[in-house]
Structure 1
Amino acid sequence: MYAGGALFGVGTQRANGLARWDTLTQTWTPLGNTTCASGDCIAEIHSISFDGNNMYVGGEFSQLGGVPANDLAKWDGSQWSAVGNFAKGPVDAIAVKDGLVYVGGAFDSIDEWNGQTWRRIGRLDGATNPHVNALVFWGDALYAGGLFSRVNQQAVGNLARWDGTTWTAPPGASEVFAIAPAGNRAFIAVSDAILQLKGSHLTQLGTGALVGFLDVAVGDNVVYRAGYAGLPIGLKGIEQWDGVQWQMLGSSVSPGPWNYDTAVQAIAAHGKDIYIGGMFSIVGDKPASNFAKWTNPAPTQPSLVAPKNKQEVKRQQPTLKWTGAAGATSYLVQLYADKRNGKLVLDTTVNGTQLQTPTLKPGKTYFWHVRACNANACGVWSNWRRFRVK
C-alpha cells in the first residue's frame, strides 16, 4: 500500500511525501523524496494511480527521487522519471487506462499523455479558479469532478463524462471532491452530501446538516465517507452507509496540529480493512499519527421494529422490519411457529431491513429474530419478538 501527502516521516524513518507500507512485515519504506524549487511550494503528493508495474504520482513538487519533475512523475519499479514536459501546476487527480494517462488539478484543463505527447482534452471554465479534484474510469468512460461549469464549452455541473471523443453532462452537483465507482453505481462526495449516481439518476444517501465531506470509498459493498472533523457541524469520524442511514465506524477522530483542521482526507478500502489518512492524533481511544487502519468487526445487534411484540396482525403475509446494524452487509432472518426455536417456517438472508413472510396460518403465534452479518463475521441475534396471525 502507498501513502502520499505532506509526509515528513513514517515510523522511525524520514519520508518526504511518499511511502510504502508492507502489509506482511508491517513496516514502512520511504519511496523517493519530493523537493521544491521555490519557497511557496509545500512539496507533497496529492494523487497516486497505477498502470501495471508503473505508478504515477501527482502533487506539488519540482523533484522526486532526485529527478526533475514538475508536479507529476512515474515510478517503474526501480527509478523515477518525469512524464513528458508537463508543467501546468499542482496535480490533484490521475486516471490511467490502456496506456493513456489523464491528469487534472489546480489548473483549467484536463490533459492526456499517450506516452509521447500531451494533449488537452478538456478546457474548464465557468468558475473562479476552475479545477479538478477527481478523475476515475467508470465503465467505458472517464468521469471528472471538481469545480467548473463548462468543459470545452459544454455546460456541466462540476461533474463531466468523457467517452473518448466528447464531453457530456451527468446530473450536476456542487463541488465534487471524490468519486467511487461500484458496479452499476458511482458514489460522489460533495461538500454537504454523499450522492449516488445510477444511470442518469442522482440521489442523496441519507439526510442531515453535516458538511465538509472530502472522500468516499466502497469496500465489500459498503460505502464509507469522511471529511473535516473540526467543523462545528462536520463529520466527527468515519461513517458507513447501512442501506438506510449513516452509522459511525467506531468512534471519533481527535485533533491534529490545529483543531479546526482535524480531518480524514483519504479512505482506502481493502476487503474488510479500511485505511484512513489525514490530520488527526487519536482515532477512538488509540493514538494514531495521521494514519490508521480499521478492521471491520462483526456488525452490531439490530432491533426489531414491526410487528410490535405480541401484536395481532390481520395479514397472512406480514412484513417484518428491523433497524440497520452498523457494519452489516446482510441480515439472517428466522421465523418459527408456536415457540422459540419451534417449527422453522423461514430461514433466509436478505440485504435490506425488511422482509415479507410467506403465507402464514391464521390463529397461530410466530416467533422471529434477526442477525446482522458482513464478510468478516455475524453479530449477535436480536431479541425475540412474537406476533399472532388473526
Structure 2
Amino acid sequence: IAKWDGQEWSDLDWGVNSVVRALTVFDDGTGPALYVGGEFTHAGQSPAPAIAKWDGMTWSALGSGMGGVSRPRVSALSVFDDGTRPALYAGGQFQTAGGIDASDIARWDGSVWSAVDSGIGGHVMALTSFQSGSTPLLYVGGEFHHVGDRAAVHIAQWDGTTFSSLGGGNGLSNAIHDMTVFDDGNGPALYAGGRFYTAGRVVAPFIARWDGLSWSPLGTGMDEITRALGVFDDGGGPALYAGGAFTTAGGIPANRIAKWDGESWSALGSG
C-alpha cells in the first residue's frame, strides 16, 4: 500500500505484509480514517489480521481482526447506515471477527465487531449500499448460494435486520466480483460485474443492471469476466467504467477496459 499526493509516492509506515483487497473511508466518531482489508496479518509492525485502520499517522487493529480459517481475508468494505448509525461492514472469507462468530461478513461500529444475522455461506467479494425504495439496503455479492437458511444465489440484500434474495432468489449464474451505483439518466441503479452469464433469467454476459425490481443487460455485455467497476465524469457527463479480462464490450473491441454511457459501450483507446 502506498500514498500518492499528486506529485510523488510515499509509504504508510511499513505498510502491510501481504495483499490488499479493499479500501474505504469511515468515521468511527474520531474523524475520517482509511480502512484497509486484505490477506495480511500485520499493519505497520503490529498484528492486524486481515483488516486495519490508518489515521494518517499510524496503523491500528480493529479488535483482534478476522480469524476462524487458515488464511482469513477481507475482500470488500462498505459503510452502511442501518438506521441506528453508520457502521463499517467487512466481507470476505472468515468465520470470526473480533473473536465472535461471524460467517464471511461482519459489522464494526468503531469499538466492537458484531455478526450480521447468521452470515453468508461463502466468499463475499463485493459490498455496496443502494436505495431504490424507501429503505436503504446493503447489497452483498460474491460466491455463495445461501444466506442463513434462505436461497440467495451470488447476491443478497441486507436491510439492517434481515437478509433477503433478489428477484425471487434466482440470483446470478456465477460469482459477482464488484458492484457500484450509477445513474444513466433513468435514475440510480445497481451495477454488478463478475463471472456470470445470466442475471435472474436474463442473459447479461459478465455485467448487469438491477433497478430494484428486475435485472437488465448492458447491450450484449462482455466476452469475459468483469472484475472492477467505477463511475467517472471525463467532462462529458458521468459514465460507468468496467475493467476485467474481456477483449470486447457490446460487440466492439475493448481491451480489458470499457465505458458505458447508459446506451452503448465504447473503448478507451487501445485499452
Q: Do both share a fold (TM > 0.5)? A: yes
Correspondent of 1:222 among 239, 243, 247: 239
Contact 2:125 2:142 in 1 (8 A): yes
Residue 235 of structure 1 deviates from its aligned partner by 5.8
The residue type equivalent to 1:189 in the other structure is: G
Contact 1:105 1:133 in 2 (8 A): yes
Correspondent of 1:96 among 79, 82, 85: 79
The answer to whether residue 47 in structure 2 is matched with residue 63 in structure 1 is no
Residue 118 of structure 1 deviates from its aligned partner by 1.7
The answer to whether residue 264 in structure 2 is matched with residue 239 in structure 1 is no
CA distance in 2: counterparts of 1:31 and 1:100, whole angstroms: 24
CA distance in 1: counterparts of 2:14 and 2:63, whole angstroms: 20
Change (3 A) 1:243 1:214: same
- 1:167 is matched with 163
Matches within 5 A, 1:337-348: none
CA distance in 2: counterparts of 1:117 and 1:158, whole angstroms: 28
Matches within 5 A, 1:272-287: none
Q: What whole-Å deviation, never above 9, does each CA across 1:176-196 have from its counterpart, x for those lacking one?
A: 111111252111102242111
- 1:349 is matched with none
Task: Report which of the two structures shows the higher radius of gyration computed on alpha carbons.
Answer: 1
Residue 159 of structure 1 deviates from its aligned partner by 0.8
Q: What whole-Å deviation, never above 9, does each CA across 1:238-278 have from its counterpart, x for those lacking one?
A: 111133332111113xxxxxxxxxxxxxxxxxxxxxxxxxx
CA distance in 1: counterparts of 2:13 and 2:75, whole angstroms: 19
Q: What whole-Å deviation, never above 9, does each CA across 1:136-181 have from its counterpart, x for those lacking one?
A: 2223221110011111212112111111001111241121111111
Correspondent of 2:24 among 21, 30, 49: 49
Q: Which structure is richer in relative contact order (CA contacts within 8 A, separation 6 or more)?
A: 2
Matches within 5 A, 1:143-154: 143-154=139-150
Contact 1:34 1:61 in 2 (8 A): no
Q: Secondary structure at the residue paired with 1:164?
A: coil
Q: Secondary structure at the residue paired with 2:229?
A: strand
Q: What 5-or-longer segments of structure 2 have no aligned partner?
A: 95-102, 196-204
Residue 70 of structure 1 deviates from its aligned partner by 0.5
Identity value in percent = 32
Contact 2:137 2:157 in 1 (8 A): yes
The answer to whether residue 99 in structure 2 is matched with residue 109 in structure 1 is no
Q: Secondary structure at the residue paired with 2:224?
A: coil
Change (3 A) 1:246 1:147: same
Residue 113 of structure 1 deviates from its aligned partner by 1.6
Contact 2:182 2:240 in 1 (8 A): no
Correspondent of 1:210 among 223, 230, 254: 223
The residue type equivalent to 2:22 in the other structure is: S
Q: Secondary structure at the residue paired with 1:115?
A: coil
Task: Report the aligned-residue RMSD.
Answer: 2.3
Q: What whole-Å deviation, never above 9, does each CA across 1:15-58 have from its counterpart, x for those lacking one?
A: xxx111113xx21111133455xxxxxx1111001014211100
Correspondent of 2:212 among 199, 202, 215: 199
Runs of 4+ in 1 over 4 A off after TM superposition: none
Contact 1:99 1:115 in 2 (8 A): no
Contact 2:208 2:218 in 1 (8 A): yes
Matches within 5 A, 1:1-390: 18-23=1-6, 26-34=7-15, 36=17, 43-52=18-27, 53-88=32-67, 89-97=72-80, 98-107=85-94, 108-121=103-116, 122-125=118-121, 130-139=122-131, 140-171=136-167, 172-173=171-172, 174-183=174-183, 184-191=188-195, 192-207=205-220, 210-220=223-233, 221-228=238-245, 236-252=255-271
Change (3 A) 1:113 1:209: closer
